[in-house]
Structure 1
Amino acid sequence: MTPDILDRSPTADCSGSPGRSSQSIRERIRSAILIALAIIIGAVGWSGFVLALPVAMLFPALWAMSPSRLVAAMVSAGYFLAASRGLPQGVANFYTVDLWPGLLLWLAASASFVIVHAMLWTRRPGKAQSEGGRAVRYLAAMIVMALPPFGIAGWAQPITAAGVLFPGWGWWGLLAIAAGLAMLTSRYWPAAAVALIGFWFWSAASWTAPTLPEGWKGVDLEQGQNLGRDASLQHHRDLIATVLSSADSSTRVIVFPESALGFWTPTVERVWRDALRDHDITVIAGAAVLDGSGYDNVLAAISSQAAEILYRERMPVPGSMWQPWWPWTGGARAHFFANPVVEAGGNRIAPLICYEQLVVWPALQSMLHSPDIIVTTGNGWWTSDTSIVAIQQASTIAWARLFGLPLVSAFNR
C-alpha cells in the first residue's frame, strides 16, 4: 500500500505538471511585461518631441524577446497602436462623428504592421539557428514596412531616429542605425543599447534645430477647417495681405500650408499674379487640381512672372483622400514615386505634404536626388487634441538633421 500511495502523490515527480504550470505563469508575466513596455515606448517615442524618437528603437528588442509568435504580434500591436493613438480622435474631428469609425480605422491601420512583424518573427536562436537570421528577419520587416504597399501605413518606424543619433551622417547614419536596430534583436542587445544611448546623449547635448534657408520663410495659419473651403475673393485677399506683411527685404520665397489656395483655377492664378506684380516674391502654397476623375493634392508656385503646379502629392491620406477601393468617388490620386525633387526659388526642394511626413519612403526617395531644402506643409486642423502634427514635425526635423538640410515648414491648425 505505501509504495502505491507514494507513487500517486503530487510530489512524486518533481518535473510533472506543477513545474510546467509555474513555468507557464512566468512566461505569461514576462509576455505581459513585454507588451506593456511596447505600449510605453510607442507612446513616449512618438510623443512629438524629436529628441524622444530614439526611445522607439527599443521596439526591435522587445519583438525579439517575445516567447511566441502570438506575443510578438501583441507586442507589435501595442507599440503601433500607442504610437498612432491620435488617429481615432483625428478621424472623429475630420468626419464630425463619434470615436467608433476612428477606432475601426485605427485597428485596420495597425494590421499590416502587426502581420508583417508576426510573420517574420522567429524564436530565440538555438543550436540550429544563427543570431544573424533573426537580425535579417527584422531588417526585412523594416524594409517591407518602409515601402509600398505595406509602407502606405508604415508609420512609427524606429529608423526615423537616425537623425537624432547621427545628425549630418546622411546615408551612413541610416546604415548605422539599421545595424544598431538589427543588433538589438540579438543576444548582444545590451551592448548595442549602451552604444546607441551613448550616441543619443552626445547628440542631445549638442542638438541644434535645422536651419532656415536664406530668403525662405514658412507661414503658419490658424484658420481651422475653413482653409481650403472658402473660395471667396476676400479669402484670397486676406492670404495675400498675410504674404506681404510676412515678407521683408530679404524674403524671396514664402511657403503657405497645404490647401491654402483651395481649388486651383485660372481666376485664382490671375488674382495672385496681379497682387504680386510689384513684388519680387514667389509663393509656394497648397491647392487642389480637379478633373473629371478625381483630384491632385498639389503645391503651386506663384510669382508675378509665372504660376505653375510645382508638386503633386505622392501619398495622400489613405481613406479620407486616397480611395483606390472606390475609384468612382473621385478621391485624390497617389503619384507614389513621381516628382521626388522639384525646382523652386533657384533650389532643388524635397516637398513633403502632410501624410508623407509620417511614412518613410517619400523622404528617403527625395534624399536619393540630393535636394537643397526640405519643404513640408500640412493642414492639421482635424488633429486638434492629438499629437499628430507634432509627430509629423518631429519626423521631418529628424530627416533634415540626418542629411544636414535646411527645413521650411508651414501648417494650418
Structure 2
Amino acid sequence: MRRDWLQPLALGLASATAGYIAWSGQVLALPAAIAFPALWSMARSHRTASVVSAAYFLVASRGLPQGVAAFYQSDIWPGLILWLAASSGFVFVHAALWSRQSGGWKALRYTIAMVLMALPPFGIVGWAHPITAAGVLFPGWGWAGLAAVAAGLAIMTTRYRPAAAVTLVGFWLWSAAFWTAPDIGRGWQGVDLQLGNSLGRDNSLARHSDLVATLRLRRRPDTAYVLLPESALGFWTPSVERLWRQQLTGTDLNVIAGAAVVDPEGYNNVLVRVSATESEILYRQRMPVPGSMWQPWLAPIGKSGGARADFFANPVVFVGGQRVAPLICYEQLIIWPVLMSMLHDPDLVVAVGNDWWTKGTAIIGIQRASAEAWARLFNKPLVMSFNT
C-alpha cells in the first residue's frame, strides 16, 4: 500500500520540479522539460499519468492566477478557475494516451500527444510544450533540430531513455557553454516601455506625442524600423493615423506598433506600420488570449465583442522587402503560430507584448525565452518590444 502512493507522489514531485525549472523565464532552462515524457511513461496507471501531467502543467503555468487577478483587478478566484480549466486539456490528452504497453507503442502515443498539444483545438492552451526546448538543444538546426527533439522526447518514453537523456543533456551543456542570443534585425530596433496598464487605454494627444518623443530620443542612427509593444497605439482610427503621420513628418522612420481595430462585431488585435507618408494594417493576431480576449461563445448566443482569432491567417507579412514573422503576446507561448510562420522562411521574427499584468510572475520571461528559443532554432534575427 505504501508503494501505491509513493510512486505517484515521487513522479508528481519530479514532474512539478521539471515544470518549475523549465518555465522559470530563463531560456537555457527550457530543456528541463525533456524530463516530462520520461516521468509520464513511468506512470503505472491513467490516474498517475494524470497526476504527473497536472503537476507539470500547473507548476509551469503557475503565474496565471496572479496575472489574471492583476489584469481584472479582482481576487484570485477567476485566475484559479482559468488555471485549472486550461490544465484540463493537457491532462486529458496525456491521460487518455497513456498506455501500459511499452516500447514503440508508448513512444507513438506520446508523439500523438505532442502533436495534439501543438495544434488547435488542444494547442489553443498548449503552453509549456517540451518541444520549445529545441532552440536551446539544437540552435540553428531548423526543422532537423525540431525533428531531433521530437524523436528524443519520444525515445524518453522507452527503455532507451538513459541513452536519450545522456545525449540530450550533452547537447544542452554544449549549447549552454556557447550560447549566443539571436541577432537583432539590421535596421530594426525594439523599444520597451514601462507605462503599466495605461498603455492602450490612454488615447490622448499627450500620450501619442510622448510616444513619438520617446522614439526620437531612443532611436539609433541606423534604425529604419522601430517596434513598439502590443496595444501601444490604442484604438487605430483615422484620427490616430493622421496624428502619427504628422508627428513623423520630416523623418524616414517606420513605426511598427500594436493597436486595436474595432467594429460592431468585435475587434482585431493588430500590428500597424505607420510613417510620414503612409500607413497599413500589417498583421491580425492569429490567437488572442482565450477568455480575456477571444470569446467564441458570444456569437452563438447572439452577442458581439471579443477579439477575432485568425488561426491560420497572415503567417508572414512584408516590411521593406523582408518577410517578417509576427508573434503577439500569447502566440509566443504556443506552438502552431511560430511553426506556421517558419514554413514560409521569414527573414525576421518580431515579438511584442503588453505585459504590465504579469508583474511578480515569470510570464514575461517565459515569453521572451520562448521567442528567443524559436529564433535560435531557425537562426532568425529577433526584435522584441514589451510594456511592463
Interval containing the TM-score (normalised by the shorter chain) = over 0.9
Question: Does structure 2 retain, via aligned residues, the 8 Å contact 1:353–1:376?
Answer: yes
- Supply the RMSD in Å over aligned alpha carbons: 0.8
* Alignment partner, residue 167 of structure 1: 139
User: How much does 1:345 deviate?
Assistant: 2.8
3-state SS in 2 of match to 1:263: coil
Counterpart CA distance in 1 for 2:314 and 2:197 is 28
Match of 2:378 in 1: 403
Q: Distance in 1 between the 2:155 and 2:100 partners?
A: 16
Partner residue, 1:339: 314
TM-fit CA distance, 1:27: 3.1
User: Is 1:114 matched with 2:80?
Assistant: no
Equivalent in the alignment of 1:291: 263
Amino acid at match of 2:36: F
Instruction: Give yes or no for the alignment of 1:78 onto 2:55.
Output: yes
2:249 to 277, 294, 306: 277
Name the aligned partner's letter for residue 272 of structure 1.
Answer: W
Could you say what secondary structure the match of 1:152 adopts?
helix
Q: TM-score, normalised by structure 2?
A: 0.98
Q: Distance in 2 between matches of 1:73 and 1:329?
A: 37
Question: Which residue is equivalent to 2:213?
Answer: 241
Question: How does the TM-score come out when normalised to structure 1?
Answer: 0.92
Matching residue of 1:356: 331
- Taking the aligned partners of 1:307 and 1:379, their CA distance within structure 2 comes to 22
Taking the aligned partners of 2:91 and 2:309, their CA distance within structure 1 comes to 24
SS in 2 for 1:155: coil
1:254 matched to 2:229? The reply is no
| Counterpart Cα distance in 2 of 1:270 and 1:333 | 26
Give, in whole Å, the separation in 2 of the partners of 1:351 and 1:214: 16
Report which of the two structures shows the higher radius of gyration computed on alpha carbons: 1
Matched, 1:205 2:177: yes
Aligned counterparts of 1:249 and 1:280: Cα–Cα separation in 2? 11
When structure 1 is superposed on structure 2, of 25-34 and 391-400 the one drifting more is 25-34
Deviating more after overlay: 135-144 vs 342-351 = 342-351
8 Å CA contact 2:8–2:51 kept in 1: the answer is no
Q: Report percent identity of matched pairs.
A: 62
Correspondence for 2:121 among 149, 160, 163: 149
Shift of 1:329: 4.1
Deviations 1:59-79 (A, max 9, x none): 000000001000001100000
Residue 124 of structure 1, CA deviation: 4.3
Tell whether the 8 Å contact from 2:264 to 2:304 is kept in structure 1 after alignment: no
Partner residue in 2 for 1:10 = none
Report matched runs for 1:301-312 at 5 Å: 301-312=273-284
How many residue pairs get matched? 385
Corresponding letter in the other structure for 2:58 = L
Cα displacement (A) at 1:342: 0.1
Report the Cα distance in structure 2 between the residues aligned to 1:284 and 1:246, rounded to whole angstroms: 15
Give 2:104's aligned residue. Answer: 132
Counterpart residue identity of residue 323, structure 2? R
Shift of 1:101: 1.0
Partner residue, 1:391: 366
Structure 1 counterpart of 2:64: 87
Any stretches of 5+ residues in structure 1 without a counterpart?
1-23, 126-130
Distance in 1, matches of 2:358 and 2:46, equals 34
Report the Cα offset of residue 304 of structure 1.
1.4
- What is the DSSP-based 3-state SS (H/G/I as helix, E as strand, rest coil) of the residue aligned with 1:214? coil
Whether the 8 Å CA contact 1:253–1:345 is kept in 2: the answer is no
Opposite residue 262 of structure 1, the aligned amino acid is G
When structure 1 is superposed on structure 2, of 270-279 and 168-177 the one drifting more is 270-279
Please state whether the residue corresponding to 2:212 is helix, strand or coil: helix
Counterpart of 1:62?
Answer: 39
C-alpha offsets along residues 291-340 of structure 1, whole Å, 9 cap, x if unaligned?
A: 01000000000011210000000000000000001231410000000000
Q: Would you say 1:33 and 2:10 are equivalent positions?
A: yes
Question: 1:265-286 deviations in whole A, cap 9, x for unaligned?
Answer: 0111111111112111100000
- Give the conservation status (yes or no) of the 8 Å contact 1:65–1:124: no
The secondary structure found in structure 2 opposite 1:146 is: coil
Code of the residue aligned with 1:69 in structure 2: it is H
TM-aligned CA deviation for residue 346 of structure 1:
2.6
| Matching of residue 53 in structure 1 with residue 30 in structure 2 | yes
**8 Å contact from structure 1 (residues 315, 335) kept in 2:** yes
- Please give the secondary structure, in 2, of the residue aligned with 1:311: strand
CA deviations on 1:7-42 (whole Å, 9 max, x unpaired) are xxxxxxxxxxxxxxxxx3223211110011011111
